[in-house]
Structure 1
Amino acid sequence: MACTVNEMITFARSFINTKEYPAKSNRTKFGEAYGVNGVPWCCIFQWYLFNKKGMYDQFYDGKKTASCTTLMNWAKSKHKFYTNKYKPGDLVFYNFDKVSDADHIGIITRVSGDYIYAVEGNTSKNGSQDNGGAVLEKQRHKSLILGVYRPTYKTDKAPSSTTHSSTSTSNQAKKKIVANGQKAANKFVGCNIVADGIWGNKTKKAAIKVVQTALNKDYGAKLSVDGIWGSATDKAFGSHYVKVGERQWLVTALEILCALKGKDPKGIEYPGTFGSGLKAACGVSKAVKSTFKNLCS
């Protein structure tokens, strides 16, 4: 799943006035989802937005970082770092103390003359701007900006009538991939879901069962295969991951999850090998817990 610039900005604005609790604790729902709470969270907030909108591959290649400078340097390595002509949807890196590191980050909502407006986590109205405890939409002068990272969003343009046929064909192809994923889930777990090519509640539950089964096979997790991603499943997954070149049951799970979301992994193996087809489908070369959780949501 991807989203448009407008969808991302609307989502970011939905958290305005969200505050850490207790005050000055750096503890937030964003840090809880990230897996590390009680630390400065302006970058974690942006990670949260991109993960929840299914654009995890556009944030640090699907990995985690709470460091604005690390994310900025990654953007530079991807040749997607810009120091002028800022646009809504850009992730903007600020420097408040006149050194080279990035002190703070936000997502630009609009640009007006010498100023930009951005939704930022862990800021405040009049106090600390980079550890202030709240989500706010701030006006900033461009002189504070080191540069921006420009993610690749889904286009906001409506399809023309000439693209209707190809869009319909694309939807049918995606539905077929989902149906193949449903068949694979039935084979792997015995879910007995209907292979109708539609992502619904039963298919979502089957996806989680696939992950639970893989964790049991690979790591002897002894999970109840109930299709509920609760604390036991979260703890069992822990810091496990799969990466390109590896062969295990968790790779099979990733192949099935991609298919269930309409992303063709170019085959499902038992156990699976993380190859180029799967990498293209999931958008990362190393899949961690958040990758799997997003595909199950």
Structure 2
Amino acid sequence: MSVDGMIKAMERWIGTGEPNAVQEWYRQRNGADYAYNFPWCNATITRAAVEAGEYESVCFGTDYAYTVAHAARFNAAGQWTAMNNGIAKSGIRRGDIVFFDWGGSSEIGKIDHVGIVTSVSGGYVYTIEGNTANVCARRVRTVREIAGFGRPKYKPAAPTAGSSSGSKRPQVSLSKLIQAAKIDPPKKGTPVSYAGVKTVEQALVAEKLLSAGYADGHWGTATLSAYSLYQQRLGFHGTQPGGDADGRPGRTTLTKLGKAHGFTVTS
């Protein structure tokens, strides 16, 4: 979805207080260690990245609640800039993941907080941040507060109407997926699966519901179980065949998954 998609996903959470859906979502994915009113600034970045289809570029395929670990990952990837030479010279820009140290250092180990840059003007950096005064809100920051920033390798922006350049969103046929989900699980003979199956499996991997090793283009039992978990996460029930959470895709759940991970659902 690109930079704009990531920022739009963050804007969705503006005004959110606590406890909130971001915390509950993160808790469901990461367990009882988060069964309290934990600091959720980086969990908001993680949630927005998943929604925007930028989970790999922003989070390197890992959920983050701990800001130090997230900044360290950018550093390990060679995508980190310490804020030790002023805002203008740093090159900080829209879409960068910006990390803060309230003590004024540029040390990763002392980072306290995180947000996303929406714009830069003169000596001011404009952001959206989760868990700032217990809400998600827009803020204006100065060099004194910024420890540094990570620069995600965002997907290219989608082409505008009438443009012949750029990559198109993958299209996934619901009817073909349903056929695959009915026939493939026993994994006997030649599967009916097609490229769209792998697209959906990769989205389930990003949702941390399917092991990457099973994203093979075959709607086997692992994929069936993973999609059932996704349906249950959205509030559907009934895991037996014919139930609303039986692992066979429906238009509502598939459309939601596509919006979060960059594919379009067709008939």
Counterpart among 170, 182, 195 of residue 186 in structure 1: 182
SS in 2 for 1:135: strand
What RMSD in Å do the two structures reach over aligned CA positions?
A: 4.4
> Any unmatched runs of 5+ in structure 1?
21-26, 124-131, 217-221, 234-252, 262-290
Per-residue deviation, 1:149: 1.0
Residue of structure 1 equivalent to 2:17:
19
Partner of 2:115: 106
Gap runs ≥5 in structure 2: 28-33, 83-89, 187-191, 198-202, 204-218, 229-237
Give the TM-score normalised by the residue count of structure 2: 0.61
Shift of 1:53: 1.5
The residue that corresponds to 1:81 in the other structure is: 80
CA contact (8 A) 1:178 1:198 kept: no
The residue aligned with 1:115 is 124
TM-score, normalised relative to structure 1: 0.55
Distance in 1 separating the partners of 2:225 and 2:15: 40
1:21-36 aligned at under 5 Å gives the runs 27-35=19-27, 36=34
CA shift in 2, pair 1:62/1:143, >3 Å: same
Instruction: Report the CA distance shift for 1:57/1:162 in structure 2 as closer, same or farther (over 3 A).
Output: closer
- Tell me what 1:240 maps to: none
Contact 2:94/2:120 (8 A) holds in 1 = yes
Identity %: 22
Higher relative contact order (CA 8 A, sep 6+): 2
Aligned residues of 1:182 and 1:197 also touching (Cα < 8 A): no
Shift of the alpha carbon at 1:214?
6.8
User: Residues of 1 paired with 2:151 and 2:61: CA distance?
Assistant: 15
2:78 is paired with a residue of what secondary structure?
A: coil
Aligned partner of 1:9 in structure 2 is 7
The residue that corresponds to 1:95 in the other structure is: 101
Instruction: Check 1:225–1:104 CA distance in 2 against 1; reply closer, same or farther (3 A cut).
Output: farther
Matches within 5 A, 1:65-214: 65-83=64-82, 84-99=90-105, 100=107, 101-123=110-132, 132-156=133-157, 158=159, 163=164, 174-175=170-171, 184-189=180-185, 211-213=223-225
Q: In structure 1, give the amino acid aligned to 2:80.
A: F
| Residues 173 and 196 in structure 2, CA contact (< 8 A), matched pair in contact too | no
1:224 to 240, 245, 248: 240
CA apart distance, 1:98: 3.7
Q: CA separation in 2, counterparts of 1:214 and 1:160?
A: 35
Aligned length: 204
